[in-house]
Amino acid sequence: MALAEGAAPSLEPAGDRRVIQVGADQLIRLESVTKVYGSGDAAVVALDHFSLDVAAGELLAVMGPSGSGKSTLMNILGCLDTPTSGRYWFGGDDVSRLNETQLAHVRNRRIGFVFQQFHLLPRLSAWRNVELPLLYRGERDRRALALRALDQVGLGNRVNHRPTQLSGGQQQRVAIARALVTNPDLILADEPTGNLDTAASREVLTILRDLNQQGRTIVIITHDPEVAPVAQRTVVMRDGRLVHRVAA
């Protein structure tokens, strides 16, 4: 897997989207992003002038207590939601003002998601689960690509197993393969070890670390202190702000 193709810093300019030249190694830039839910007395400031850069090829862990704004950050990074104010540059594109259709496009083309609950379809084999994101794109060679992604997570010998025939760690690895199969610029993982015991957590973190060492950009949002040692950088949130940066 090539680092350069996954980390392309810029899309072509399209429509009224603004394009900036960011460093070739810069994948994400959040510039003073604020997210407010509700209004008036009920307004909640979930992100408060939050700024963050993520380099292409980095593995970043985001930690913080419940209510600190991690899910809000995840939604914005994953193009599931847009900021109330501030800017989000993704690969050189301003994605902070896109409409739902445009956001879905960025999300489907450029971001792979890994969730705490795996979200695998129980009746489908591992490779059928992994090919799903390719089906929506009308991609050919789906089986070959799915098998390759499963191979990358060390499950080349489990491709026909269904989720119930796999351990928790293996199920999460299938989910990682599904995130990987589209060759996204970013893998965004929300508590990927949250449902796993210690051994399975290690198994999953080892895979994520290996993928990062092959050049994948990965952001892990987590409570799990075991994640920090595999990350190049850990940031800690509180009340919608960055309170702490830890270099590995």
Nearer to Mg ion (CB atom), residue 46 or residue 207: 46
The DSSP code sequence of 122-182 is: TTS-HHHHHHHHHHTTT-SSHHHHHHHHHHHTT-TT-TT--GGGS-HHHHHHHHHHHHHTT
Output the six-digit token pair for 230: 């595999």
Q: How far is the CB of 69 from ligand ADP (least distance, A)?
A: 4
Which tokens in the block code for residue 67?
């209510």
State in angstroms the smallest separation of the CB of 66 from Mg ion.
7
Helices then strands, counting H and E runs in the chain, come out as 7, 10
Of 73 and 180, CB closest to Mg ion: 73
119 torsion bin: left (phi>0), alpha (psi -120 to 50), beta (else) = left
Is 70 or 128 the residue whose CB approaches Mg ion more closely? 70
Contacted by 171, from ligand ADP, Mg ion, none: CB < 5 to 8 Å by type:
none
Tell me which residues touch Mg ion (CB under 5 A).
70-71
CB of residue 109 to Mg ion, shortest distance in Å: 25
Toward ligand ADP, which CB reaches closer, 9 or 67? Answer: 67
**What is the DSSP-derived secondary structure letter of residue 203?**
H
What, of ligand ADP, Mg ion, none, does residue 72 touch, CB below 5 to 8 Å by kind?
ligand ADP
Chain residues in the site for ligand ADP (CB under 6 A): 37-38, 44, 46, 64, 66-72
Least distance between ligand ADP and beta carbon 227 (Å)? 15
CB of 156 to Mg ion, least distance (A): 34
- Spatial distance between the Cα atoms of 8 and 11, rounded to a whole number of angstroms: 8
Q: What is the DSSP secondary structure assignment for residue 106, as one 8-state letter?
A: H
The first and second tokens of residue 127, run together, are: 């490779």
Q: Which does 69 bind (CB under 5 to 8 A by kind): Mg ion, ligand ADP, none?
A: ligand ADP
* Residue among 74 and 211 whose Cβ is closer to ligand ADP: 74
For β-strands 233-238 and 59-63, DSSP reports them as: parallel
Give the count of beta carbons closer than 10 Å to the beta carbon of residue 130.
Answer: 30
CB 136 to Mg ion: min, Å: 26
Dihedral sign of CA atoms 244, 240, 72, 17 in order: negative
- Look at residue 68 and give the partner it binds from Mg ion, ligand ADP, none, a contact being a CB closer than 5 to 8 Å depending on partner kind: ligand ADP
Q: Which amino acid is at 50?
A: F
In the complex with Mg ion, which residue's Cβ is closer, 71 or 206? 71
Say which entry of Mg ion, ligand ADP, none residue 64 contacts (CB below 5 to 8 A, set by partner kind).
ligand ADP
